Amino acid sequence: MFKVKFRVSFVETDSAGIVHFSNYFRYFERAEEELYNSIGRNLDFISLMKKYGYTLPRVEAHCKYFSPLRFNDVFEVRIWVEEVKEKSIKYGFEVYNITTDKLSARGYVVVVAANLEKGVSVPLDKEFVEQILKTTKQEDKKSEIKIFED
C-alpha cells in the first residue's frame, strides 16, 4: 500500500467548509501521480507516455463516502493494486481523515494503457507493473492480486 498525506484547502470546500464529493477523485488522482513520481524516475503522466508509449486514462471510477472532510483537515490517501490485466490496472483507494481519525471514503479507478496517437489500448509494460507492485509494497502478494495474462 502506498500512502500520501494532504491538507484540505479552502478552494476544495463548499460554503459550509465541507469537501465537495468530486474532489475525492482528484485526491485519488493526486495519490496516483505521487505513486508514479515515487518510483524514482520522475514517472509522471507525460514521462509515462514518452517511456512506454502510452498514457493511462480512466475508464471506470467508483467512490463510497463515509465521513466528510472539512477545511484544514489533514488526510491520507492510500492506494493499492486490486487487479492487473493485460491492458489495465484497477487501483483501490481509501481517504482516511487523520484529523478526525475516521475513514472518509473508499473507492477504485480502472486505468487502461492507451496509445493516444493511434487511439487504441495497448499492453502494459511488465517492468512498469513490477515497479507499481514494488512501490505499493505488494510484490510479495502477487498471489493475492488478480493478475491476468491474456
Give me the helix-helix angle, 45-52 and 23-38, nearest 10°. 50
User: Phi/psi at 5 (nearest 5 deg)?
Assistant: -105, 145
Grid coordinates belonging to 70: 472539512
Does the annotation count 14 as an active-site position? yes
Helix (H, G, I), strand (E, B) or coil at 125: coil
Per the residue annotation, which of 14, 73, 140, 150 is the catalytic one?
A: 14
Grid coordinates belonging to 123: 499492453
- Amino acid, res. 9: S
Helix (H, G, I), strand (E, B) or coil at 84: strand
121 contacts: CB under 8 Å, gap ≥ 6: 87, 88, 112, 113, 114, 115
Residues recognised as catalytic? 14
